[in-house]
Structure 1
Amino acid sequence: MRKIIKHTSIALAVSTALYGPVAMSQQAESAADSEDMERIVTLGSRVNGRTATESASPVDIISGEQLVSTGASELGKALQMSAPSFNFSTTTISDGSDIIRPATLRGLGPDQVLVLVNGKRRHQQALVNVQETIGKGSAGYDINAIPISAVARVEILRDGAAAQYGSDAIAGVINITLKSGDGGSLSAEVGQTYEGDGENNQVGFNIGTSSSSGFVNLTLEYRDRGMTNRASPATLEATGGQLIGDWLDENGDPVVRLHVGDADSENYYAWLNAGYSLNSTTELYAFGGLSTRDGGSAGFFRGRGHPRTIEALYPDGFLPQLKTEADDQSIAIGVRGDLPNAWMWDASVVHGMNEFRFNSANSANVSWYYEPDGNGGIYGETPTEAFDGELIFEQTTFNLDFNGTVDVGNELLYLATGLEYRTDGYTINPGDPVSWAYGRTNDPSIEILTPSGAPAEAGIQGFPGFSPGQAVDAERDSYGVYVDAEYYVTPEFLMAGALRYEDYDIAGDNISGKLSMRYDIDADFSVRGTLATGFRAPGVQQIYYSQVLTNIVNGTLVQTGTVSNDDDVARQFGINELEEETSESVSLGLIKRWDSGFDLTLDFYQINIDDRIVISEPLTASIGSDFADILAANNLGAAQFFTNSVDTKTTGLDIIGSYPTKLWQGDLNLTAAVSFMNTSVESVNSVSSLIPAEEIFNETQVLRIEEGQPNEKATFSGQWQRNDWTVNAALNYFGSVEGQAFTGVRHEWGAKWLMDLSVGYDISRDLSVMVGANNVFDTYPDEWGDAGIPFSQAGFKYGWETLPFGINGGYYYMRFNYSF
């Protein structure tokens, strides 16, 4: 009977040993004849059975045990602490981005990396990052929708791979392999920050069973993370205590008015991975999961005396609350089997959906409250909470793949080919009328005034909802075909190439290519390199997203906000339909091994991207008379657009070394991983004759792309094991970052070192305990200071826009694990 392939996906070749010796997955252990056998991995090429030292591309291999040993409770944070090329920026007061944080690779955008689960394309998030965060204008992947308890390992391909895997794989590919082994575990963790907040309570359960005919592995996880708040008292000396009203207390003293830190987050997960042999040559497999996340964050304080504050409801002012719900579902079903002459086939369908709902609380619609009642008075009431609307992204992908070998002379030519058909859908459902409307009738001709005589703003405070005018229910189809080949020209010289054609019914078609080589100078020294072209089709989120709000401009109620790219109004402004981003990349790497066990890899790369899709700043009548006329004709006060306006160049160097040795009668594994990366905006191109290039993508946004993520990032870690004891220590380095959003003043937050430390003890064969602390020395970013006025005086002590390791300070925890 055919053996179940428990590691799922396609067996692929990878780079040399990275991140030091780690526990092999159960499926690799079952195949190994000795503990020294190199791991077979699942990313980088489609050749079955390649080991970790036979690849032409660099791949980071991070085991589930390594992820847990970081002390992080969520997958995105654990990857940031494990892979220097991966960044997971912390955001605050950024609406939905407080719950789904932007995840990036090699300093590029969240949507320029492709994420796979068990080798199959994963769907993206519905949320579009529209606040002043890393990845503004993008919709990436909700990495934290996958629980750590379900993960056997993660592989990160640090190489352009659009020709192999399709759109989005410009920066690389992340493949998350789910657990599939026998047995199970029950884990529990409790922890909190040094400040006493951010309480984390987590329980994870994993169980698996297998037989000669199949396997089933189930994961359940619950995590409840409390909020943190690092806001300082709102002194506001520069403004006399005024910022959206009076922020001082009744005695005229400064108090904390903001919530600056992590949002509340309550998470539930259920994931499954299974396979079943239909006969001796054919296997049925399925995997997927459900996750739901309820979040709670805050907006900006509204103080006394401001037209946005209804003092009959909130005499001391109020802090609007944003309650979010992020639901994620996915299911993959496939059949794979053997063909004659050692060929294999794989047919699969993957469906995924991400839903993001916005709800406001502790708020009010000012226009609703002060609307004239027709009898000489006002209605004098408004709901203080509302459903603001929801975003839904759906994706269905069909794949049919074949791979095998052909005899060419005295060597085998490894071939793979296949096709993919995909449907992407995007939906915007509007919120309650009170969340977006101007009064009950949404009639701008009705004059609604606050007691101060100022016009009343429409919509609920904090996060005004999506109106029926922004409702969307659209989808897009695409298909692709590829061919992938590898051939040993000589026993020491490997050549690999791939071609892929994809066609989208929106954004057109593209051909991508990749050529890689690897040459073994001797048994311990190799060189490798890649030339590749790539592309990323515009996301349906970027094509269809819009949020038009009613604001006051020069005392007049006008519509402002994001105009969807498919809207005729965008054409009036000269904004073209979005096209694909294209890239050219080159990489060159060295691999060196020593008899002592020390391994070292160096990989240099350069990625040029043309026509990057970005979102402009809100543009007003100051752009010019023609622009002002179109604004007026559409009753708009300002508008922003998604455009193909930026060309960038990213260069970098990844250095990774590992060394196993003996210390104090125990085993010590040392790892050093350093990434240097730099992105520069080569040109900004206006797609409209009405809008100057420097306006459509201004200096603030250029700075965020170039300096918003650390240009240097490093991890130096060691794991020491002796008998029942395990000690993990890591130094994490985050290079400096810069930004100037909100204030227009360029500011640098300096580089920082953070140390993590944990000690584990095996109480018995099945029960273990680990105690530890992340950021042991309670390190914080630099304070914003005068460069941040007035926001630094409002409570943003450490900044707002870009903070790669967050502002929580130290965190300590205790974790128990029972295996059975």
Structure 2
Amino acid sequence: MKKITLILFVLTTSFCFSQQTVTGLVSDSDGSPLPGVNIIIKGTNEGTTTDFDGKYSIEATSENTLVYSYVGFNSKEVLVQGQTTINVTLSSGAQLEEIILVGSRALPRSNTTSSLPVDVLPAKELASTGQITFDKALQYKIPSFNTVQTPVNDATSLLDPYEIRNMGPSRTLVLINGKRKNLSSLLYTQTSPGRGETGSDISAIPTDAIKRVEILRDGASAQYGSDAIAGVMNIILKDNPSEGSVTLRTGITSEGDGETIGISLNNGATIGENKGFFNYTVDFSKVNLANRPGDVDAEGEFADFGGTRVGERLQDIQGFLARRPDAGNINGAPETAAAKFLVNGGYDINENTEIYMNGAYVYKKVNSFANYRTPYWRDIQDFQYLGNFFPGSNPLTTGVTFTDNNGNTFNGNGYDGYVPTFEGDLNDYNATIGFKTQKNGWKYDLSYTTGGNSQDYTVNDSHNRNSVFAPSFDDVNGNGVPDVGEEFVPVELYRENSPVSFDPGGTKFRHSVGNIDVAKLISDQVSIGFGAEFRTEVFEIIEGDLASYDGGGADSFAGNRPENSGKFNRYNYGGYFDISADITPDFLVNGTIRVEDYSDFGEAFVWKLSSRYKFLQDKLTLRASASTGFRAPTLHQIYTQRAQFSFVPGQGIQVGGLINNVSPQARLLDIPRLDAEESTNITVGIGAKINQNINFTVDYYNIQVDDRIVLSTEIGASATGGTPLDQVLQDNDLSDVSFFVNAIDTRTSGIDIVANYKNIEIGTGKLGLSLSGNYTIENERDGDVKNPALVSQAGQSVVNDTQEALFFTSRPEFKAILGANYDIGKFSFSLNNTLFGPTKFRNQGLQDLEGLVGGNAADSDGGSDLGVEFMTKVVTDLGINFNATDNITIAANINNIFNVLPEWEFKALTPTGEAVLNNAAAEKTAFNLITFNGRYSQMSYDGYHFSQLGTLFNLSLNYKF
């Protein structure tokens, strides 16, 4: 019996002191996981840290005590006592608000302990804006973020340009769960903000799939590679498997158009015995056309399109405009239908390894319109067949028969002009699969990401008005082949034989990205990270059908010619090393270096150094960073070549040519190939967390970009003629050419302010106040324009006043958002006031205005005599949420409640400009020049400020499962 007792004692003792695997999750009091938490076996140096999802695994005995510690939280001790799963919640009065994953390639940090300025927007704040798409929600939440519907649509209607810190859409890198999202295949070529650039289609991401958004407002090329000069947007997807909801949305503008309806479903489920999860979102929406044309001026139309024939007399123009004051133009927000699908998931293979994945597919159908072709612009006497193509109710052509030079007669059929449609089908997808594992404190993350975007275009209600002949013969013998004596007779392919529907082709872009990321907490003070990336990119220009480009192509939008179409690709390797060291508990230093090697332009080496110092018991934080960066020219910029229809003030719609830098035309004109942009970023800021409810940050930034890539202005014929430029224009029947070039160096600086005061008790409710703002100190060209020789010889510049305004002053000089949220009982109220500072333009057509006031145009210096300034405005949004039950929430939003619309005015820049503004007739002519005779009176043809749609009413019903 004693022997048995002794054996049992030994076995029990051995069991008590034998090690076992303890796993668990460490989170804050709100349930959010905490990555990077230190877990130490008390009394030893053995330990581990939580991974990016707050999970950990450690070997311990039953009698061990685990100590959980994290900066800003109270430490916690837990006795194992045979437990194999220990979940811990850390909390304290100094609890940090959020853990951010963007900004460091070592281990994640909290926002207030980060050395970099990061905005964090939870899903609730995005939804509270009442905006239909993700990009528009950011517009009214992030002061340094700007986007808006452009006045002139075409392909731009598929994706609105956006940017951070006035740096253009190409210089903000978009990540999804930390992985690079694909670019759009769209290249902005209209004379509007964002001209010559491309970006990711963030509007395609369903808002209901987003958990939060992290926006790093600092250059981050060293950490993430190309496109991160202005900053990084990291979109974190929902990962909750147990919560789900369905939301029904509807809305309308105060003008009774732009009706919206949508439904979205977000739900999730666990995999196995809580070993994994998936969360999915399905979103369908439809937005109807919202039209905001201006009244068209008859005298301006007569100056552009007048003549001596009956259909072109001023009174006939006035008669048409009496029937159609807006000249039939349709401009505003196009009709859009969208279907969006997204899934996010993960699975724990064992205690130390998990696999993860996410994928999204989006389809958008957009219907927009070109400028209306009036009956005096496309005259039936020049194109007699138009009466058959586009019958109407014009009294001048109803019952009238026209005869051409060959004696053929045509019925007018009430021809009253026509409006070509521009229809786009967009497909966008992205997917990531990867796995994370840890061993001996090393954390490994291996992933593969793919993504793509395609845009296919259709032009309807148009025609090919060009005379193109094909050889034919009089087949007397009826054998289908030319015999001796049978006469060849040319047959006109288009005009009366033209189709009215065209396939002009489209564009595609896709990439594949492989990432290896490794991180380790070397000690309580030092963490390191390093990794590598391999990326391939393919850009494709899809050929249009013959009729869409032949001879000049479809009226309004010419198709892609075979010689301008094809697939183009490149690849690059990148590697980085990152180290983060807490020199003291208050003093942090973070450094990163990166090397990239591109197959098409070579290598880039960049670095970043940032630091943070906390004092006054962590209430104040000083932070600063300095870095270099780069942006590779996109394949779109290198290879795009096509005919471009655009409005030329005083001349109507003209056809220009966009030639790429690797074409025969570029060689003839000696246009240099594109190289990468290089940047230097400096950020200095201070953050204060007075208490749990009051905090603010102020950051100064300075961004220097060298060799900035721009799409040149339209370069026309030289004054003397006979140059290679003149020959290219003549051979291709073009009015002008444009091309991409590393033309300018720029400097951008400004200040960002973010302040919050929450949990203010008023009555039985709580009020939260927020104030954020961005002020641009300087945004300008640094040095002279780097003009190619042919442009200088022609006495022109690739960057004129219009271009400079689009680059530097077309975004608000300052922007501020004052918000208030009040929660009381089942109600939640939000009131946001967004202040849009002035934007300034140098529209085309405002140069050399001496002739309008009797001056000598030969005395002009070629600069703008007048500028256009959109005045400072405040847009107020009201939101009301009612939690009817635990499961049902009704939300009503009135955006732009006071129906504030953009307003602009002329600003005289020269004595000639002053004279124009003092002459009513001259000022009216200037107005016509920049608004296409009033068609775009609210925004001007090149203009931008904020939404031109006025008040928007939105209502949603959310049901939680």
Please, what TM-score do these two structures have when normalized by structure 2?
Answer: 0.77
Task: For 1:165-564, list aligned pairs within 5 A.
Answer: 165-181=224-240, 182-210=242-270, 211-240=273-302, 243=305, 248-250=318-320, 254-256=324-326, 257-307=328-378, 310=383, 311-312=386-387, 313-314=389-390, 315-340=415-440, 342-367=441-466, 380-407=496-523, 412-438=525-551, 458-523=552-617, 524-548=619-643, 560-564=656-660
1:174 shift after superposition? 0.2
1:381: Cα distance to partner? 2.7
Q: 1:94 to 1:468 in 2, by over 3 A?
A: same
Report how many aligned residue pairs link the two structures.
782
Gaps of 5+ in 1: 18-28, 439-457
Using the TM superposition, give the Cα deviation of residue 337 of structure 1 relative to its aligned residue in structure 2, in angstroms.
Answer: 0.6
Mapped partners of 2:209, 2:319: distance in 1: 49
Determine which of 675, 683, 686 is the counterpart of 2:774: 675
RMSD: 2.9
Contact 2:572 2:599 in 1 (8 A): yes
Residue 583 of structure 2: SS of its match in structure 1? strand
Distance in 2 (CA, whole Å) between partners of 1:239 and 1:251 is 10
Corresponding position of 1:761: 882
The equivalent position to 1:120 in structure 2, one of 179, 182, 194, is 179
C-alpha deviation, 1:606, in angstroms: 0.4
Query: Where does residue 849 of structure 2 map in the other structure?
Result: none
Q: Which amino acid aligns with 2:461?
A: N
Distance 1:31 1:118, change over 3 A: farther
Amino acid at match of 1:598: I
Partner of 1:107: 166
The aligned counterpart of 2:951 is: 810
Distance 1:795 1:30, change over 3 A: farther
Task: Report the 3-state secondary structure (helix = DSSP H, G, I; strand = E; otherwise coil) of the residue aligned with 2:291.
Answer: coil
TM-aligned CA distance change 1:187 to 1:247, over 3 Å: farther
- Local SS of the residue matching 1:794: coil
| In 2, Cα distance between equivalents of 1:584 and 1:551 | 35
Structure 2 match to 1:451:
none
Quote the Cα distance in structure 2 between the aligned partners of 1:187 and 1:291. 18
Q: Which residue of 2 aligns with 1:794?
A: 934
Distance 1:386 1:2 in 2: 62
Q: Which has the higher contact order (CA 8 A, sep 6+)?
A: 1
CA displacement at 1:742 relative to structure 2: 3.8
Q: Which deviates more from structure 2 when the two are superposed, residues 723-732 or residues 363-372?
A: 363-372
Matched, 1:52 2:111: yes
The 2-side partners of 1:372 and 1:509 are apart by: 53
What is the CA–CA distance in structure 2 between the aligned matches of 1:613 and 1:676, rounded to whole Å? Answer: 25
Cα deviation digits, residues 405-430 of structure 1 (max 9, x gap):
224xxx53210000000001100011
Q: Which amino acid letter does the alignment assign opposite residue 481 of structure 1?
A: G
Moved more, 255-264 or 106-115: 255-264
Distance 1:188-1:549 versus aligned 2 partners, 3 A rule: closer
Q: 1:371 to 1:365 in 2, by over 3 A?
A: farther
Match for residue 157 of structure 2?
98
Which segment drifts farther, 486-495 or 241-250?
241-250
Whether contact under 8 Å (1:187, 1:205) holds in the other structure is yes
Matched-pair contact (CA < 8 Å) for 1:575–1:687: no
**Counterpart of 2:127?**
68
Alignment partner for residue 828 of structure 2, among 722, 726, 731?
726
Structure 2 vs 1, CA of residues 316 and 307 (structure 1 numbering), >3 Å: closer, same or farther?
closer
Which residue type is aligned with residue 714 of structure 1?
Answer: A
Q: Deviations over 1:283-313 (max 9, x none)?
A: 1111010001000111112111435764322
The one-letter amino acid paired with 2:928 is I
Distance in 2 (CA, whole Å) between partners of 1:641 and 1:8 is: 50
1:628 matches 2:725: yes
Query: Contact 1:711 / 1:736 at 8 angstroms: preserved in 2?
Result: yes
Q: 1:371/1:551 Cα in 2 relative to 1: closer, same or farther (>3 Å)?
A: farther
Code of the aligned partner of 2:713: E
- 8 Å Cα contact 1:709-1:802 kept in structure 2: no
SS in 1 for 2:110: coil
631-640 or 309-318: bigger deviation: 631-640
The letter of the residue matching 2:723 is D
The 10-residue stretch of structure 1 (777-786 or 639-648) with the greater mean CA deviation from structure 2: 777-786
Change (3 A) 1:775 1:372: farther
Q: How does 1:588-603 map to 2 (within 5 A)?
A: 588-595=684-691, 597-603=693-699
SS at match of 1:503: strand
Q: Secondary structure at the match of 2:333?
A: coil
Which letter maps to 2:825?
Answer: N
Q: For 1:802, give the aligned amino acid.
A: G
Q: Could you tell me how far apart the structure 2 residues matched to 1:226 and 1:166 are?
A: 39
Q: 1:431 and 1:493, CA in 2 relative to 1: closer, same or farther beyond 3 A?
A: same
Over 3 Å counting, the alpha-carbon distance change for 1:673 and 1:308 in structure 2 is: farther
Matched residues, percent identical? Answer: 29
- For the 8 Å contact 1:3–1:212, the answer to whether it is kept is no
Greater alpha carbon shift after TM alignment, 595-604 vs 145-154: 595-604
CA offsets, 1:136-158, max 9 Å, x none?
A: 00111111111101111111000
Contact 2:263 2:283 (C-alpha < 8 Å) held by counterparts: yes
CA displacement at 1:630 relative to structure 2: 4.8
CA distance in 2, matches of 1:753, 1:642: 37
Deviation at 1:788, TM superposition (A): 2.7
SS in 2 for 1:144: helix
CA distance in 1, matches of 2:729, 2:823: 70
Whole-angstrom distance in 1 between the partners of 2:706 and 2:215: 24
Bigger radius of gyration? 2
| Partner SS, residue 622 of structure 1 | coil
Q: 2:664 aligns with which of 543, 549, 568?
A: 568
Contact 1:84 1:674 in 2 (8 A): yes
Q: Which residue identity is paired with 2:882?
A: Y
- C-alpha change, 1:550 and 1:179, in structure 2 (3 Å) is closer
Going from structure 1 to structure 2, the CA distance change for 1:362 and 1:632 (only over 3 Å counts) comes to closer
Deviation at 1:499, TM superposition (A): 0.2
- Deviation of residue 404 (structure 1)? 0.4
Unaligned runs of 5+ residues in structure 2 are 1-21, 27-31, 36-50, 55-70, 73-86, 307-311, 391-414, 473-487, 847-865, 907-923
1:691-706 matches, within 5 Å, as 691-692=791-792, 695-706=797-808
Residue 436 of structure 1 aligns to a residue whose secondary structure is helix
2:375 and 2:103 map into 1 onto residues whose CA distance is 59
Find the aligned partners of 1:414 and 1:650 in 2 and give their Cα distance.
33
Conserved in 2, the CA contact under 8 Å of 1:4 and 1:283?
no
Structure 1 residues 358-367 or 798-807, which shifts more? 798-807
Instruction: Indicate if the aligned counterparts of 1:670 and 1:719 stay in contact, CA closer than 8 A.
Output: yes
The one-letter code of the counterpart of 1:535 is F
Q: Return the offset for 1:11.
A: 4.8
